[in-house]
Amino acid sequence: MPLYEIEHCIPLSKEQRDELAQTITHIHTKKFSTPSLFVNVRFTDVRDHCMYIAGQQRTSNRIFGVVRAGGPRTAESFDELAQQLEAAWDAVINGGKRGHGDKEMKVVSIQGSITAGVESGLLLPRAGGDAAWLNENKPMFERLAQAGDADFVQLLDEMQNREDLVKALSDDAIRGESREMIGVFPRVCSHGPTRSRESFNELCSEINSAWHHIVHPELSNSELPPRELELAAIFITSELLAGMKVGFPVPAAGTEIAWAKEHFESFKERAALGDEDFVDYVEELEKKPEFNEAPRSE
């Protein structure tokens, strides 16, 4: 579920990468009761990248974490997470002391921006909803494990033997009985005026289905694809606060039609100049009923 990317400006041995990945996985799983299977760690050697700090070219080591925010996860818990990640780097790379120079961990950044996603074919739960999600999907995990998927064999082992997960699953089972009796359901988490969590989940499912249809269409949904052909994860992150694309400001979520009407004359000018993207876009807009319903900007 989370993705941690480690940018390093010093060479790291496989042993160091392994230890860092295992330590980061342990930190995240213990802090948020997340199964190990869903913690992703990626290393990027940036020795050949151009990095500037304060306008001066420099090198630095950085860790970026993209996680699910909300639920019981507080700002304080993310502060602690950042400190633990920095300490993990120093423990593995600097013998437990604070690093200096090229061995210093310059930046640890945690971004709570995963809105929705699919991992191992399953829609991701909301932050804080992991235990309920694990209980709900346990029959599927068991089928995948029986089919020989080693990842899900490990997941079931953690669900049965990892103390924090066992407790979380047990507590959720009790809460689940209460929810069933009194009819309490999670609220919709919205991002933008017209975009709900459900709409992002549908988007993830459609992307996953498209991958299946194109990459391994000969397999049924119940068959496991070869590991190199499996779409391991889809993450939808938020929020895009602002941006520019081909000279136009990016619209806020849910305002695309109003934005297109506002800039339509400029789009037509670009199309008239021979920009094929805008030729297609103008044609597409003119065919949209919702685009033609309201008046355009003069």
Residue 275's pLDDT is what?
A: 80
- First CA to last CA distance, the chain: 46
Domains annotated on the chain, with CATH: 3-180 (3.30.429.10), 194-237 (no CATH), 254-292 (no CATH)
Residue 151's pLDDT is what?
A: 87
Residue 186's pLDDT is what?
A: 35
Kindly report each contact of residues 192-198 with a partner whose C-beta sits within 8 Å and lies 24 or more positions away, as own/partner: 192/239, 192/252, 192/253, 192/254, 193/252, 193/253, 193/254, 193/255, 194/253, 194/254, 195/253, 195/254, 197/115, 197/116, 197/126
Residue 175 pLDDT > 60:
no
**37 or 188, which is more confident:** 37
Q: Tell whether omega for the bond before 15 is within 30 degrees of 0, i.e. cis.
A: no
Residue 224 pLDDT > 80:
no
Residue range 218-222: average pLDDT? 76
Query: Where would I find the beta strands (DSSP E) of 165-258?
Result: 233-237, 244-245, 248-249
Whole-number Å distance between alpha carbons of 37 and 267: 46
| pLDDT tens string 77-128 | 888 999 999 999 999 999 999 888 889 998 898 888 777 777 777 777 777 7
Whole-number Å distance between alpha carbons of 206 and 123: 11
Residue 68's pLDDT is what?
A: 79
pLDDT cut 90: percent of the chain above it: 21
Task: Say if CB 66 and CB 108 are below 8 A apart.
Answer: no
| Encoded amino acid at 69, one letter | A
Mean pLDDT of the chain: 81
